[in-house]
Amino acid sequence: MSRIWRAFGLKPHVAETWKLSTDPEFIGKVRDVVGLYMSPPENALVLCVDEKSQIQALDRTAPCLPMLPTTPARMTHDYVRNGTTSLFAALDLASGSVIAQPYRRHRHQEFLRFLKLIDGAVPDGLELHLVCDNYATHKTEAVKKWLLRHPRFHLHFTPTSSSWIDLEPVWSGRTYSQPLVACHPLQHSWAEPDLSWPRA
């Protein structure tokens, strides 16, 4: 059986998925986003923005034991659940820097707070082009009004069913696919910002 599979290139254990976008503006949106990637505007920053909800925050039941000569680091197998969190992240294509912030909920209010976080973290002289998906929280009236008051922000939406074109999930894919597990008791608040933007 194995020889037959190899001869005909059959891999019955492998499964792939596919999805066709039905967005009528597919071509225009792809050109817009890819154009930002290939030729970003001068004096501007291109950020890929994405959110992931329901990430488990787990804590080990005892502190980890550090690595010693001839002994690997050790940790308990069991853990304690600390609820879930929603991670908002913006990836800077030019430098690879990430602005990330966890929130307890995933609504347009949290998206607005994250936009304000980006606004405060990025130098004032730069225009901001954000690549986002079509999640409803990005298009509420409150968000639109805030964007009108902050003209340096420009949102570029990916086509529907085309999240692959947003590069932020490439950075966060490992985080999204695994629970957040702490090796020591969680002492920090999930509401504290994590600003990894390099300041001058």
For residue 158, is it within any domain? Answer: yes
Q: How many domains does the chain have?
A: 1
For residue 12, is it within any domain? Answer: no
Rounded to two decimals, the pTM is 0.71
For 176, phi then psi, to 5°, come to -70, -35
Task: Tell which residue, 28, 3, 2, 30, has the closest CA to residue 164.
Answer: 30
For residue 20, is it within any domain? Answer: no
**Residue located via tokens 């991670």:** 87
Cα 137 to its chain centre, rounded Å, is 15
Q: Domain containing 185 — which CATH number?
A: 3.30.420.10
Residues listed for the chain: 200
Q: Are 54 and 86 in contact (CB under 8 A)?
A: yes
pLDDT of residue 175: 53
Longest Cα separation, the chain: 66
Mean pLDDT, residues 74-84: 81
For residue 44, is it within any domain? Answer: yes
Domain of residue 166, residue span: 27-195
| pLDDT tens-digit readout, 96-152 | 888 888 888 888 899 999 999 999 998 888 999 999 888 888 888 999 999 999 999
pLDDT of residue 148: 94
For residue 131, is it within any domain? Answer: yes
